[in-house]
Chains A and B, each alone.
Chain A
Amino acid sequence: MGNMSRADFRFIEACPMANVSAFNNAMASAPTWRGVLRKWAPILIITPSLLVSFIYVFVFTLWTFYISLSDSSLLPSYGFVGFQAYADLWANQRWKIAYENLFFFSAIYVVVSLAVGLALAIAIDQRVRGEALWRTIFLYPLAVSFVVTGTVWSWLYSPNAGIEFFVRSLGWSDFTFRLTTNRDLAIYAIIATGVWQSTGFAMALFLAGLRSVDPDIVKAAQIDGASRFRTYRKVILPSIAPIFIAVAVVLLQFAIKTFDLVVALTGGGPGIATTFPANYVYDLMFQRGQINIGAAGAIMMLAALAVVLVPYALWTVWRHRREVAARG
């Protein structure tokens, strides 16, 4: 529940109880155009947005699916071909690497962002001074685009002019810090930079959640003699469990859409080691004029998303039902 107080609603309680009977009589008479409009207002309001969202989500996705089954090459065309595009897609080494990278990246990115965000939130929650300052420092990366983040971090990762160069110029001539130029380590550079960008959001949500924990439960645990660590583990964290899910979902959609970050940071390299599905789909659709295979790749990206979202949706429904049952 939110932290709104009843005081906010004082002005409503000051509203006089109107002439109820007269009002009821008016409503009981023949429906006026005003009444009809009032009744249908919610539907009317929601309809344009619904239409737009419906087109944007479902029509576009269905179109993409159809294109993946068509003979489109340079431009969309609508001759039906079948699932050949999917076969072609999976026969590609680069696609396999990209798909693997997506899962690997998403898993580590979400988990590390959650962990770091939680740690930062807990640290700030310890009644530290200058909270506004800490909060701003960790939140500002969200304001920056992935393109800029990738570019600036690629400067830092550069062995010729970045961190390695800097530390060496300070005297440690053997220092190496080469993530983006190493085939096996470049993906970690992308993960690290992604985490840098998004952890602030996780921290903000966790901080909000920590602040809204019922202080009575915490006091009860402390009276029972639980150490600070125990209190967190057994009492506080479970009570903000829903926040983990909410943050994970938002982070996940960032992860799926990873595109600009890769282009700016490594260009998909070294070689094709850090190529991602979004990059390959873009390449297929626009550089190589193989729109049908690109569409197949896009559908596979959505499939990867469904693998995560469908269980979550089912779990939400199950939890909701359980709550209703508990209440009833």
Chain B
Amino acid sequence: MLTRKVAAVGAAICLLTGAAYAEPKTNLLHQWSQGSDAAAIAKLGEMFTAAGGKWEQTPISGHTANTLAKLRADVIAGNAPPAVQLKGPEIAEWNQTGKMANLDDLATKEGWDKVVAPELLPVMKPAGHWVAAPMNIHRINWIWGSTKAMEKAGIKELPKTWAEFNADCEKAIAAKLICLAHFSQDWTDATVFEVIVYGQSLDLFKKAFVEGDTAAMRSPAMVDAFKEFRLIVDKYMDPAIAGRDYDTTTGMIAKNQAAFMIMGDWQIGIFKAAGLKEGADYVCSQAPTDWAKPGFILNSDSVAFFEQSDPDYIEGQKLLAHLIMSPKFQTVFNETKGSIPARLDVDLSNGFNACQQMSQKDLQASIKDGTLVRSMAHNMTILQKYRGAIMEVITTFVNDPKMTPEQAANAMADAVEAQK
């Protein structure tokens, strides 16, 4: 009698806690099919398997559009992926379809609201509920210098303002060096340009690139930014920027042919892979900023979660989100890549180099001073349709020497208005 009752109660308990018996599994859809990025995701997979989950991933090669095409195909087929690499305003857009999973319980339990950088919260919680977990924080507004090239040109330290930058470039040119190593693609051109805009006027950046205000795009401040950009493209970069690839550009710094490079912090990982040492071979600093305060343009990769019906996948999502937000993963994932954790409470003194530590300090300072912004060039602010239009104008400006700064500013505003 008793045993039967116990058995019944036991069975009831088993049914109630049935979820806990589900074996967590996941299939992460992402675009890091190669190289160090893929290795970093592999580490996530190892952690997932070690925690008892069944790990599967679908890395999609080529352009980001391919990953998004697969995401759409899966959603249309009724097979939304349990986890997918999404970032920026797209998380909000997908959230509006109502198909995303809700991670609030996990978030409250683990206190994510307190440790994630405040600028990232509206991205991960577009409608007030946690639907995504950030993996890292990238800083875009870095300037890198080749120590030997700078020595040769007589440049003592990395320029702090754009006026200093121009003066340093003159010195570099006099020493028969290329001042700014660059390769022209829509995202790299946009990166350099948004760094210029940010460095010249925080207000202009916020209005034009965060709010998408077309009046700001037509303003004299934007024309000035394009003027500086025209000077840089024509004089301080070399003519072969179209068609050059990334590793050749890194090579220009490595071989001391160029003095500076403006690129996000993943450059640290690339320098490391190329065998360059911070301090000895390259130096880093906040990109030229005319308004003399710590500034930070933020980019963040994140994993978003779509609602699932299979309890195994649901468990897997919770496990994956928990792992992504764990200090261990945040450390391991970001050390070699050059980025810093999305959690502000991780100690960077072990394994992170000086530039990365500087990055975290500047991030904190920038939050305090209210100068932190998200990146337009890396798809963190305005919708893709506006961003795409803006980037087309920027890259056309770079490749068409006849386009004047006024024309570019107006073209940018026109292009954005055409999308509205």
Binding site for B on A (CB under 8 A): 73-76, 88, 91-94, 157-160, 178, 180-183, 263, 266-267, 269-273, 282-283, 285-290
Contacts and interface: CB of A to CB of B under 8 A. Distances in A.
B94 interface: yes
Contact of A270 (B243, B245, B383, B419): B243
Contacts of A92: 389, 415, 418
B72 interface: yes
Contacts of B69: 282, 285-286
Contacts of A269: 184-186, 242-243, 395, 399
Interface in B286-334: none
Nearest to B389: A92
Contacts of B389: 92
A288 B385 contact: yes
B399 A287 contact: no
B400 A271 contact: yes
Contact of A88 (B72, B399, B418): B418
A263 B399 contact: no
Contacts of A88: 418-419
A313 to B, nearest CB: 33
A271 B398 contact: yes
14 contacts: A75-B75, A88-B418, A88-B419, A92-B389, A92-B415, A159-B243, A160-B244, A267-B185, A269-B243, A269-B399, A271-B242, A271-B392, A288-B388, A289-B384
Given A93-B411, A271-B399, 9 more contacts: A93-B392, A160-B240, A263-B63, A270-B243, A271-B396, A285-B69, A286-B65, A288-B385, A289-B385
B97 interface: yes
Interface of B: 62-66, 68-69, 72, 75-76, 90, 93-94, 96-97, 184-186, 240, 242-245, 248, 383-385, 388-389, 392, 395-396, 398-400, 411, 415, 418-419
Nearest to A88: B418
A-B interface, 6 closest residue pairs, ranked by CB to CB distance from nearest: A181-B243, A271-B399, A270-B242, A287-B65, A286-B69, A288-B384
B185 A181 contact: no
Q: In terms of DSSP, what is the predominant structure of the interface of chain A? A: loop
A276 to B, nearest CB: 14
A283 B69 CA distance: 10
A181 B62 CA distance: 21
Contact of B399 (A74, A160, A183): A183
B284 to A, nearest CB: 26
